Amino acid sequence: MSHDTLAFCCEVLLEPPSPSNKTADADRFREGLEKMGLTGVEIPLDIMRRLPAELRRNHFALEVAIGINRLPRLSDCQGLEGLGLTVLEIGKRDIFGLAIDIGSTNMECSLVDLQTGDKVARAGAENPQAKFGVDVLTRAQMSMTGEYDTLYLALLEGLNGLIGKVCDKHCIPADQIIAFTVAGNTIMSHFAVGLDVTNIPLTPYVPAVNAPLLCRASEIGLTGNRNALVYVFPNSGSYVGGDIISGILYSGLHREEEPALFIDVGTNVEITLGCRDWIMTGAGAAGPALEGGVAAIGKKAEKGTVTRVRFDGAGKKMDLEVMGDTEPRGVCGSGMIDLISGLFSANIIDRRGRLVDSAEGVTEKDGSKVFMLYKSDTRELYLTETEIQNFLLSKAAMFSFLYVFVRSVGLTFSDIRKVYISGALGCGIDPESAINIGMLPDIPRDRFIPIGNSSIGGAEMVLLDRKLLCEVKEIAARITYREMNEDGELMNVLQGAMFLPHTEPGILKGEK
């Protein structure tokens, strides 16, 4: 690996002290680094305290981990080489970076070997704050009534648990992690480093900080090397978080010549439209259906979850793809899209989302019509009409957001050359199913690019190339936020989008 990573290793070979060379240890060490082209490297006090003994134990040939000691300003970005560096650790050891995505509901991390560039392990967990309130704004409001510390400590404990998990997976001690990159929405990023969130839910919705942060693991209580760097992605106001900025970086939208869409579906739907000249982001609540939060049948991706549903040509026979070798226990977002699409194609549900009385699989439960998805001696899995309506509301909201958003800059869907799909949908969505139900626009299929968890993808990229710190700043500076829920046109489009696929097919094709 090169020295472009956020933190890197090298070996410093020094001449031992002698009567003719009495230079002090730290000064000698700094000179050695300078001879390697690493000028002005800061040596923190705790490292300087250990330096004399480590130098002698290693016969003046000392391995050292080095990282950046401050973030570039936009004006620095031409000459990043001039950025300050600092010693993070001394002595022989492997070094790792950890990319962390903190979602409102779920957290995920990716362990990266900073010497080989390999992504060696991943781990995920529920965000422990979720049990205090599904909505992040609720959590910010709780902070106003003195419950900040409870939420903050819950998240910190959760993050440290996650770090422990991923280190165990790869069998490394946590102090080999010498760099963290953290991406999350604005409120999660604030909680992660202990910043005040109480002004975010209050007009005019001002975060404590937008700029990216650089601090040390020991400052925020994160398990890892005590000197480990922690880079927190910037946000662009209260509504566009570091997760979106990291995702944009990962998608490459900010380098496109022609307008591209970046859709991130998590607890909210976040839509970004742009290219190398401009970037516009908006967000709206699409309901929990798309993340698998539909009552009773909904389930996030884990053992027993139906992630895909395939129908044979005539729509008579269903094939369920279930995680783990087990009975199906619920359906996640991608499975729901397939399911609704298949049921609609097979005429088991009609254009308004009602179950057709005589259709195969439609039966009655507790006095209501349901579709029986799976039945064994011990388990029944069925879909109610209410669940279908909830799902249609989410799909309608998502489509309407997309439509209004694209239109607001004078474009139509046919102008969009690439559609990056990230988040819960990005994991396994079949664009054909989504288009069939009118959730995504009916444009050439090869324009859809599922990119999985793009937030963690961008965080991994920054670990491996610190030059991207400038690119991140440029993305953040280029973003404009468009308030979506205040849009009058939205409600009109939403009405039509509640139907399968839509009341006006021309809208789906980008003809208007």
Positions that interact with a copy of itself (CB under 8 A): 17-19, 21-27, 30, 40, 42, 45-46, 48-53, 56, 70, 73, 84, 193-196, 198-199, 203-211, 213, 215, 219-220, 235, 237-238
Q: How far is the CB of 210 from a copy of itself (least distance, A)?
A: 4
Write out the DSSP string of 426-477.
Answer: GGT--HHHHHHTTSS--S-GGGEEEEE-HHHHHHHHHHH-TTHHHHHHHHHH
Q: Which is nearer to a copy of itself, 214 or 359 (CB)?
A: 214
Q: How far is the CB of 45 from a copy of itself (least distance, A)?
A: 5
Q: How far is the CB of 47 from a copy of itself (least distance, A)?
A: 11
Q: Which is nearer to a copy of itself, 35 or 70 (CB)?
A: 70
Q: Which is nearer to a copy of itself, 134 or 215 (CB)?
A: 215
For residue 279, give both structure tokens. Answer: 């970037």
Q: Which is nearer to a copy of itself, 73 or 316 (CB)?
A: 73
For residue 140, give both structure tokens. Answer: 């910010």
Q: How far is the CB of 64 from a copy of itself (least distance, A)?
A: 16
What's the DSSP call for residue 146? Answer: I
At residue 31, the 3 state secondary structure works out as helix
CA–CA distance, 436 with 105 (Å, rounded to integer): 28
For residue 449, give both structure tokens. Answer: 């690019």
Q: Which is nearer to a copy of itself, 73 or 351 (CB)?
A: 73
Helix (H) or strand (E) holding 178: strand 177-184
What's the DSSP call for residue 128? Answer: G
Q: How far is the CB of 114 from a copy of itself (least distance, A)?
A: 23
Nearest to 332 by CA among 297, 286, 375, 361: 297
What's the DSSP call for residue 68? Answer: E
Q: How far is the CB of 384 from a copy of itself (least distance, A)?
A: 42
Q: How far is the CB of 188 from a copy of itself (least distance, A)?
A: 15
Give me the residues paired with residue 270 across strands: 264, 283
CA–CA distance, 321 with 332 (Å, rounded to integer): 11
Nearest to 275 by CA among 254, 251, 261: 254
Q: How far is the CB of 208 from a copy of itself (least distance, A)?
A: 5
Q: How far is the CB of 461 from a copy of itself (least distance, A)?
A: 24
Q: How far is the CB of 73 from a copy of itself (least distance, A)?
A: 6
What's the DSSP call for residue 16? Answer: P
Q: Which is nearer to a copy of itself, 73 or 512 (CB)?
A: 73
Contact 96, 103 (CB under 8 A): no
- The single residue listed with the structure tokens 């080989």 is 116
At residue 90, the 3 state secondary structure works out as strand
CA–CA distance, 393 with 396 (Å, rounded to integer): 5
Q: Which is nearer to a copy of itself, 44 or 117 (CB)?
A: 44
Strand order in the sheet with 362-365: 362-365, 368-375, 380-384
CA–CA distance, 472 with 250 (Å, rounded to integer): 10
CA–CA distance, 419 with 434 (Å, rounded to integer): 13
Nearest to 112 by CA among 466, 455, 464: 464
Q: How far is the CB of 17 from a copy of itself (least distance, A)?
A: 4
Q: Which is nearer to a copy of itself, 30 or 466 (CB)?
A: 30
Amino acid at 215: C
Q: How far is the CB of 172 from a copy of itself (least distance, A)?
A: 27
Q: Beta-carbon neighbour count of residue 24 at 10 Å?
A: 11
Q: How far is the CB of 111 from a copy of itself (least distance, A)?
A: 24
Distance of CA 510 to the CA centre of its chain: 29
Amino acid at 134: V
Q: Which is nearer to a copy of itself, 207 or 458 (CB)?
A: 207
Q: Which is nearer to a copy of itself, 153 or 275 (CB)?
A: 153
CA–CA distance, 206 with 33 (Å, rounded to integer): 43
Q: Which is nearer to a copy of itself, 51 or 507 (CB)?
A: 51
Q: Which is nearer to a copy of itself, 56 or 351 (CB)?
A: 56
CA–CA distance, 388 with 464 (Å, rounded to integer): 43
Q: Which is nearer to a copy of itself, 216 or 299 (CB)?
A: 216
Contact 340, 331 (CB under 8 A): no
